[in-house]
């Protein structure tokens, strides 16, 4: 019985490692926790006035994204400067 338990513990340990190794960027536990996940930001802050499809459909240069984020911010979208940069980078390079 003891052996089964330790085997189980061992496999859980390995499962944990696999998760770290293969996690996608959005779920990677090694990601700097001081940075806010852009996908979460979009879902929480950008869907109050319009739905995600507006954002998902849009293709812009990096500068156009900054201009768009500034515009939505002027309408009332909440984001600080770090979040704005993270969002702009993400929206620009996604897909």
- Footprint of ligand HEC (CB under 6 A): 45-46, 48-50, 54-55, 58, 68-69, 71-72, 75-77, 79, 87
Q: Which residues contact 51 (CB under 8 A, 6 or more apart)?
A: none
* Distance in Å, CB of 35 to ligand HEC, minimum: 15
* Distance in Å, CB of 22 to ligand HEC, minimum: 29
* Cα separation, 63 vs 82, whole angstroms: 16
Nearer to ligand HEC, 28 or 90 (CB): 90
Tokens standing for residue 80: 């600080």
* Distance in Å, CB of 10 to ligand HEC, minimum: 44
Q: Is the separation of the CB atoms in 77 and 45 below 8 Å?
A: yes
């Amino acid at each position: 019985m003891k052996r089964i338990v330790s085997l189980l513990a061992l496999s859980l340990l390995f499962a944990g490692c696999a998760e770290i190794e293969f996690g996608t960027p959005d779920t990677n536990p090694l990601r700097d926790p001081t940075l806010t996940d852009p996908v979460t930001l979009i879902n929480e802050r950008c869907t109050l006035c319009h739905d995600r499809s507006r954002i998902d459909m849009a293709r812009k240069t990096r500068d156009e994204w900054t201009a768009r984020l500034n515009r939505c911010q002027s309408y009332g979208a909440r984001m600080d400067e770090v979040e704005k940069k993270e969002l702009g980078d993400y929206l620009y390079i996604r897909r």
